[in-house]
A and B are shown apart, each in its own frame.
Chain A
C-alpha cells in the first residue's frame, strides 16, 4: 500500500526533477530518464505533471513513454534482474537462469515481486557475448552465471521474497 507520506515525497521528487529543466518540449525525454532513474518507473503523476509543465497533451507524453523500452510504466522492483537472452546467452542456457529465478522469486520476466524488491526482464543482447550467459542486476554485471549462482546473487540483495524476510 502506498502511504500518503510516500506520495507526498514522490510529488516533491517529481517537482525537483522538473525544476532542473526549462519548461520546453525538447526536455521531455531527459525528464523521463531522470524519473525512470529515481523511481525505477514513470509514475502516472510524473507524466501528468511533465505534460502540464512543458505544455503538451498527456497523450503525447504517454505515447513517448510507451515507445521506449528504457521506460517502464508500471512500478519496477528495487533490484531489476536483466537476463540476457541474446543468441550467445540463449545457447549458454539463459532460459535455465530464468527458470531458476522463477523458482527463487516466483516471478516471470516482466513481473515484480509483491514486496516490490525484485523484477526480472529479458534483454536481447548486452554486447558481452564472451561472458555468456550474462545477468545484470541494476548496474552490476554477473558473467558466466550458472543456475547455482542465481540463489547466491539474490542473497547479495537481501534474500528472496519467498523466504518472507522483508515483510513489514
Chain B
C-alpha cells in the first residue's frame, strides 16, 4: 500500500507501524523506548507524529505503535510535535538527573529541566527496553514494579532472582547506563546476584556466565563444546566459511 509521509509517497506493508516505515525510508523520528528487535511499546511518546484522516482531522499518535493504512497521511514535524518532545525532554531530564544522556537531550531540545526531589541519583528513564531484552534474551526476571512516582525496574522483591542467568542483556541495551553491573575477580554482580565468569578459550576475555551457557544449551538443544567470545567466534566462523569460497 501507499502512504504519504511529509508529502512524500512511500510504500508500506500491512501490519507495519508508521515508525518502521520511516526507519526504512530514512525519515528521522526521535525515539527512546524503541528498538528494532522488539515491537513498539508506546511508552516514551517521543515518536509522536500527526496523522490526517480521511475527513481532514489531525490527530497525534505514537508512530511506533500506530499501524499504517492505505492512503494514510503522516506529518513528522510540526509545532505541536516539537512542543510535546520539548516537554518530554524536560520531564525525563527532571527525573533522570544522574544520566548524562537525559541531560544532554534536554540541552538539545533547549529546555531547562525541573529537577524532581528524590531523584538526584536516578539514571533510569523507564523505557523498559531492559524488560523486553530480559524477556526475549534472558529469563524474564525484570519488570516495572510499583506505580506512579515510585515506579522502578526491579526483580521480584528486589532480590537476586533464581531464574536470572546474568546475561547482562538488560545492561547492554539500557540507553542511560542505569543498570549496575560490577565485574571483578572473575565474577559479575548484577541484580543482587553474583555470577562466576567463563573465559574465552581463544582470547581469555571473560564473556559469559555458566548459567547463560546452560540456558543457551537448553534453548537450542545443542551442547556448546568450545567457549568462545563473540569476536573469536566470528573470526572462527569466517575461517571456516573462507574454505568454501571459490
Q: Which residues of A contact B (CB under 8 A)?
A: 44, 47, 57-63, 66-67, 73
Contact = CB atoms under 8 A, between A and B. Distances in A.
Given A44-B157, A47-B156, A59 B142 contact: yes
B245 to A, nearest CB: 44
Nearest to B145: A66
Given A59-B156, A62-B157, A67 B141 contact: no
Interface centre among B144, B146, B156, B163 (most CB of A within 10 A): B156
30 contacts: A44-B157, A57-B135, A57-B139, A57-B140, A57-B141, A57-B163, A58-B156, A58-B161, A58-B163, A59-B134, A59-B140, A59-B141, A59-B143, A59-B155, A59-B156, A59-B161, A60-B140, A60-B143, A61-B156, A62-B143, A62-B145, A63-B143, A63-B144, A63-B145, A66-B145, A66-B146, A66-B147, A67-B146, A67-B147, A73-B157
A60 B161 CA distance: 13
Given A57-B139, A59-B141, A62-B157, 6 more contacts: A58-B141, A59-B134, A59-B155, A59-B156, A62-B143, A66-B146
Interface in B112-150: 134-135, 139-147
A48 to B, nearest CB: 9
Interface centre among B139, B145, B147, B163 (most CB of A within 10 A): B145
A44 B157 CA distance: 9
Contacts of B146: 66-67
Looking at chain A's contact residues, the main secondary structure is: helix
Nearest to A48: B156
Q: How large is the interface on B (under 10, 10 to 19, 20 to 34, 35 or more residues)?
A: 10 to 19
A69 to B, nearest CB: 8
Ranked nearest first, the 9 interchain pairs of A and B with the lowest CB-CB distance are A57-B140, A63-B143, A62-B156, A59-B143, A66-B146, A66-B145, A67-B147, A58-B156, A59-B141
Contacts of B135: 57
Nearest to A62: B156
A44 B156 CA distance: 10
Contacts of A67: 146-147
A113 B156 CA distance: 25
A61 B146 CA distance: 12
Contacts of A61: 156
B179 to A, nearest CB: 15
Contacts of B144: 63
Nearest to B162: A58
Interface in B140-184: 140-147, 155-157, 161, 163
A158 to B, nearest CB: 32
Nearest to A59: B143
Nearest to A67: B147
A60 B155 CA distance: 10
Interface centre among A44, A60, A66, A73 (most CB of B within 10 A): A66
Nearest to A63: B143
Contacts of A59: 134, 140-143, 155-156, 161
Contacts of A63: 143-145
